[in-house]
């Protein structure tokens, strides 16, 4: 028995419920902010295809010669646009579930047959509007009038943050074009997986710059990756926009790098204020040996100096440190007189580090810790 390739691979039968008749009549919902109370709640269009950058339908209004992208669409697949009579207003308005209707003026929902005021005339429907020879040429012209903006996305797709970020970007892009249906500029996302490695992040960025010719790049996630990618973006004169790299050493570096997340330096004044309040004279800094860990150290040292607190010891933990190494370093710190520890490590390392802290009995009374972990 024959099987579809997608079903054979994923065990799920592919759906074709989104497919519609090309050139059929489509009614799209008009948002509240784009109409008055007395205006129609839907607009009539011709269906001309599917949008590649969002889960929306591409619709054309022959009267205004405008293209819109919308997901909230009702189709009359047996109806056709009467090209020779474009000045007639079609008052048919389908029912949209997401808005309460005025029941004092009942509206007939769409059916499988065309509405009464839509006349199906095969002879006239084959003729295109003035300036076009048919729907195919209409589709080609509308594609040419669309400006595409290529955006690269470099994320660690094996991480929770990476997967959530990719989903959020896709939803935000789809919602934007659902609201701004008249935009002729289309943003297309090209996703690459950095796999949490600096080398893969750099290779992905080079691929986006050389092969895709990206106009901008979102990412990468980690400060160490961003530290390398910044130079590539600056050389190519392409903006690199990072929403999760927090190392203070990254900003400002180049006009082509945008760091949207607050830097780790924003935490130091609050940490120093706590140290000052409890009158702790000495602290131990514990941080990971990476761009993320090293970047905050100078700012912390200066902040502690301003509140008359001295950094008595610095413990540098490698990102790939073994449990034995962590435990040995903890026992070393336990023998010191200082009982205040400021820990700045990433969440992946922290999950192992604090288990060993508990094992070394360094969470008992008399021990104090400040943990700005990201």
Ranges of each domain in the chain: 17-144, 147-259, 265-370
Q: Does domain 147-259 have CATH number 3.40.50.300?
A: no
Hey, do 147-259 and 265-370 end up sharing a CATH topology, with the first three levels equal? yes
Phi, psi of 166 (to 5 degrees): -65, -40
Strands 282-288 and 240-242, how do they pair?
A: unpaired
Q: Tell me what pLDDT residue 102 has.
A: 41
User: Tens digits of per-residue pLDDT, 267-318?
Assistant: 888 889 998 998 888 899 999 888 778 888 888 888 998 999 988 899 999 9
Share of the chain above pLDDT 90, in %: 14
Q: Across the beta sheet with 310-317, what order do the strands follow?
A: 310-317, 282-288, 340-344, 368-370
Predicted confidence (pLDDT) per residue in 288-299, tens digit:
888 778 888 888
Alpha carbon 324 to its chain centroid, in Å, reads 39
The pLDDT tens digits of the residues spanning 101-114 come to 443 344 344 444 44
Residues 208 and 238 sit within 8 Å (Cβ to Cβ): no
Q: Determine the angle formed by the axes of helices 323-334 and 347-359, rounding to 10 degrees.
A: 60
The confidence band for 140, taking pLDDT boundaries of 50, 70 and 90, is low
pLDDT tens-digit series, residues 151-177: 999 999 888 888 899 889 988 888 888
Indicate the pTM of the whole model: 0.52
Residue 253 clears pLDDT 80, i.e. is over it: no
The residue among 151, 156, 292, 166 whose CA lies nearest residue 227 is 292
Dist. CA 272–CA 301, nearest whole Å? 9
Measured distance CA(338)–CA(336) in Å, rounded? 6
Q: Domain 265-370: what homologous superfamily? A: Response regulator (3.40.50.2300)
């Amino acid at each position: 028995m024959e099987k579809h390739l997608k079903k054979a691979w994923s065990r799920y039968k592919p759906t074709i419920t989104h497919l519609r008749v090309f050139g059929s009549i489509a009614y799209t919902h008009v948002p509240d902010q784009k109409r008055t109370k007395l205006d129609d709640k839907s607009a009539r269009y011709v269906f001309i295809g599917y949008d590649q950058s969002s889960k929306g339908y591409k619709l054309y209004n022959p009267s205004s010669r405008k293209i819109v992208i919308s997901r909230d669409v009702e189709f009359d697949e047996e109806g056709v646009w009467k090209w020779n009579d474009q000045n007639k207003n079609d008052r048919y308005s389908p029912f949209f579930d997401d808005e309460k209707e005025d029941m004092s003026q009942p509206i007939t929902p769409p059916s499988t047959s065309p509405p009464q005021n839509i006349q199906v005339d095969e002879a006239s429907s084959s003729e295109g509007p003035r300036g076009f020879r048919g729907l195919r040429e209409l589709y080609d012209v509308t594609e040419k009038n669309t400006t595409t903006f290529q955006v690269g996305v470099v994320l660690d797709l094996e991480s929770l943050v990476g997967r959530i970020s990719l989903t959020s970007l896709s939803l935000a892009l789809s919602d934007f074009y659902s609201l701004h249906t008249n935009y002729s500029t289309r943003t297309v996302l090209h996703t690459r997986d950095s796999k949490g490695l600096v080398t893969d992040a750099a290779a992905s960025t080079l691929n986006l710059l050389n092969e895709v010719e990206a106009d901008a790049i979102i990412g990468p996630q980690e400060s160490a990756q961003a530290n390398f990618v910044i130079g590539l973006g600056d050389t190519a004169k392409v903006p690199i926009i990072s929403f999760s790299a927090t190392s203070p050493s990254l900003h400002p570096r180049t006009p082509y790098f945008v760091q949207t997340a607050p830097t780790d330096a924003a935490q130091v004044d609050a940490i120093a204020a706590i140290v000052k309040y409890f009158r702790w004279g000495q602290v131990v800094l514990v941080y990971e040996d990476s761009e993320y860990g090293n970047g905050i150290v100078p700012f912390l040292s200066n902040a502690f100096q301003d509140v008359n607190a001295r950094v008595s010891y610095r413990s540098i933990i490698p990102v790939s440190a073994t449990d034995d190494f962590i435990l040995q370093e903890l026992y070393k710190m336990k023998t010191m007189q200082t009982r205040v520890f400021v820990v700045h490590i990433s969440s992946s390392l922290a999950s192992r580090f604090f288990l060993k802290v508990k094992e070394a009995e360094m969470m008992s009374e008399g021990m104090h810790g400040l943990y700005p972990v990201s």
